[in-house]
Structure 1
Amino acid sequence: MSKVRIYTLAKDLGVENAKMLELLDGLGVSYKSVSSTIEEETVDLIKEMLAEEAAQAGGAPAQATAAPESDTPTDAGSAAPAPQADAPTSSEEVPHRAPVVTIMGHVDHGKTSLLDYIRKTKVAAKEAGGITQHVGAFEAQTSKGKIVFIDTPGHEAFTTIRARGANVADIAIIVIAADDSLMPQTREAIAHAQAAKVPMLIAINKVDLPQADPDRVKTDLTQLNLVPEEYGGDLVVVPVSAKTGEGVEDLLEYISLTAELEDLRADPKGTFGGVIIEGKVDKQAGVLATVMVQEGTLHVSDFLVVGENYGKIKAMTDSNGARIKEAGPSTPVQVLGFSEVPSSGEKVQSAKNEHAAREIVAARASDRRDAENARVQRRLTLEEMMGPLGSVRTVNLILRADTQGSVEAIQGILARKESDDVKINVMLAGIGAPTEGDVLLASTAEATILCFSVTASGGVKKVADGKDVDIKSFRIIYELIDEVDRLIKGNVEPVFEEKYLGRAEVRMLIKHPKSGTIAGSYVTDGSLKRNAKAKVTRGKQVVYEGTIVGLKRFKDDVREVQTGYECGINVDWNDVMEGDIIEASEMVEVEQN
């Protein structure tokens, strides 16, 4: 019995992929993604359901079943709106925007070649967009619409933008050479994409080479818990050749499908919002900044605010290098008008006029100073340090070692350290000293960098200090494991129990002008400690529970008083009486297996 891919059926029937998945869910059909296949019987049921919906909406049932036999969308168009009849119109009023894609991977695996092929074919076909040199991005027109590619120098730049809280890329494509498989930078790129929590596609490049082995790449991906669709997982893997063009159209199709499922929307009439992709100083023009418009529309003469700086747009060029007057969502543009070079990843907003821009800048400077002052000695709550109680906590680690054998051995030990309460997530494991890219990833994902028999350079340590990232180096593997135990312990809800310390009898009262009533006492059992919990008993009744805020031996403040000694006890309660018994205890953490 033949099978049909879900996205192919959706295209034939003239409905959106999201709608098709909704229908399959209603039928209880299992699938991994829109590229999964379904049986012909299911296809017939889908056609019947669409026909019924069309009939209920006033359309002809025959149109829904006839739609697959026509290549034109006009026949299916009458059936397609019906499922949306009862849906809220608020989100539908906001139009879809083009997806923004970044391509990452190991050196020489063909990232630039793939971008060049897409760029050249689209320019050769005289379709819109195509040149990347002007703004570090270009637009490609496909059968499903525009796709914007960001031509970044690598995953470090990608994560730098993410670390500043800017979500520029909607989809990440990891390029892996079919003759080389997973390499260190490949693993780093995957870790960065996972930390950014964006949809990820795998492009296996160089499949045209005689020594190409795509199956090896797919098998190696499973070692990173990334399971390709054909192996029963949900990872989309597309074999491509940047040289011959094989599979490139399929890759573009998958990008469009992923974007459709993500339901990317932006209102060109809304408030402007954007992100700086890059900034530079041109000897002739001055400061140039590349802005990705995310929301609203950008116009020449608009005032823009970036961080604590602002500027007025004097000129604006698109990805073709042509002068334009306005730019809508998912459009990369290069603007002239800033006096200082903005940093990649900084968010951009517009202001009505120069006065409003100055007010925004002044408010941000004031907020920054307040935040810096508040950051000093700020005490975190238990929930801030450890997360909500009762939830599974994750320890994010980046592992660097001298050899692959050491990496595998440590990973094996770490895997046995996980429990129901704590998950150990080794985001990246590699050979050699940690890099600045590791620090950026650790900063984004709140991870600790553990090094075995390798040390970070001075420059990397300086970057880590600036971003409050811990880099810890070890020469003995058991010391590294002990450190992991400490990290795990910090992520497990501690269990405390009350431990009895000792008791004292109050024999006289001393009135102190500052401390109030001090109980002159004799320790009859155990010991009393400063800051211990105190319980005052009078006869058989407990009359006070609090804390021992002060202990004195004669005129000296002491931390502890043992059995058989006299002392002055201040429990910060003035109603203590002679003959009372003061019992001390403390809370101690119970060791957990």
Structure 2
Amino acid sequence: RGGGPRGRGGTQGAFGRGGGRVRGRKSKRAKRQEFEQMQAPAIGGVKVPRGNGQTITVRRGATLSDFADKINVDPAALVQVLFHLGEMATATQSLDEDTFGVLGTELGYDIRLVSPEEEERELLSSFNIDLDAEAAAEDEENLRPRPPVVTVMGHVDHGKTALLDAIRQADVAQGEAGGITQHIGAYQVRTRHEDDERAITFIDTPGHEAFTAMRARGAKVTDIAILVVAADDGVMPQTIEALNHAQAADVPIVVAVNKVDVEGANPQKVRQQLTEYDLIAEEYGGETMFVDVSAKQGQNIEDLLEAVLLTADAALDLRANPNKDARGVAIEANLDKGRGPVATVLVQQGSLQVGDAIVAGAAYGRVRAMLDEHGTTVQEAGPSRPVQVLGLDSVARAGDTFVVAPDDRTARQIAEKREAADRQASLAKARKRISLEDLNEALAQGKVETLNLILKGDVSGSVEALEDALLQIDVGDEVDLRIIDRGVGAITLNNINLAMASDAIIIGFNVRAEGQNAEVADREGVEIRYYPVIYQAIEDIENALKGMLKPEYEEVETGSAEIREIFRSSKFGNVAGSLVRSGTIRRGAKARITRDGVVVTESLEISGLRRFKDDVTEVRDGFECGINLGSFNDIQVDDVITTYEMREIPRT
């Protein structure tokens, strides 16, 4: 065995378990030495890899955990480093640019904070999809005119949906619960303008205040905003809100003064009100086109469309290259029982074709079919064309960007990267009223109560809007609201099981639990609340949160008596002969004693009350009585006995 080929000292040792090592492969000791050289003791002796000037990009609002993932270290080590630098932060707390700057300087990294848009560009460029390079390489000869994308915005019940009905000859309002638009829809209509047939794409954004996020998204994808203001109602809070979104997106505005046929209509008042918000009508010397319309009567609809096209031609250069891979935005998405995930997308650049491999947010797949707003199958969708896309593997979110990928594998990889980034962003966005370190202590002291919610809706935009609205409910630091799951489609058995495990309430927005799922929820005592209109859900949850608050009490004085004489009793101890000065002294009431304005003792109890020789339950002001304070005997003449009770303060 000693010298043979199978022995430990033979030739096999040079390649196997013997004395040598494989040429070119580092030993464990060499690897350990190299790793230790990479590490340098930071402040407080914490070892983390040195960056040596390496640039690390993180999304704005990123946490220490996000940065730790980028440099492959334990987040706890970074918490220690920050602590020794004089900064207190938890691993899941979002950090500002200055804090990241201090941390980067200490560790030798150049930390660059980027917006989600920049992060998206970097992600796509890592897959050789360079949006900036494509935009810069656009030749004038490749650009073709495209239809304007118009968003209809305004206050609730000012006639936005009715106006779109008049434009596209379709009655959408009948299908809306409470008459409030709760989905985003995209439609394309055609009209005659200067002897040419022109197309206009309309995005109908909801008007209820809870859909601020969706309305803001509408302003981002749009070229022109139509601001609908009722002539009989004037400028309202959500009118201003919609106006702010459009102006923040630097979008030209056309004002449609609706309901001019209604009694009490005053279109001139609307024009005057909007001058305060820098919307000055052309007749007043401004640049904003105002059109008086009546959606119900169909009055001046053609004039409104003409105003949109005139504004587009005068203020915007609406051109795009249709001969390249499509880029755009998912306007809405939902789960259809027969067709699976369906996304309404707006093509912004290029042309989308059946068979393209696309990725929309964290959803990916091949375009199996495309439908227009009338349900007609189309083979190709050019710039500014809204279509419904079938073939995605999951439900995209409203507002997700979509791109055409070279192949299915690339599409899946992009979707997975986006999903991971979204998961980190949602964790940072989660509402935490206390830090993780304080949670156990706070729960032990009964300081925190949590309401867990699971949100399910018919479309992703509604779920997102409901989530944003619920997270804005503020009832103080004593109650924590957690949304532990959200999704699109019917309430499933998985949702019910999660609710059972976490004591959560399920909110169903235009969806229900049916059949066996409803029976399981009923049997297990899982509360499911159904809502067709969003503000009802917000109101109920707010009331529930207020009901979880621990009651607050205030002290109310019920009576006071002045001690005039002290009687000694072998049976009862000292008895205070007193005159009731105010209120009523009741037997069993809590009491305190003050002497010359200073409290002698509190939390006493009126254990006995007598009028002459009779035991009584109460004595009103102006009457004399004998008061027994139980075992407490340290009383003097002229002391004041005050009785009080604790009353619950109703929550507002």
Query: TM-score category by the smaller chain?
Result: 0.3 to 0.5
User: Rg larger in 1 or in 2?
Assistant: 2
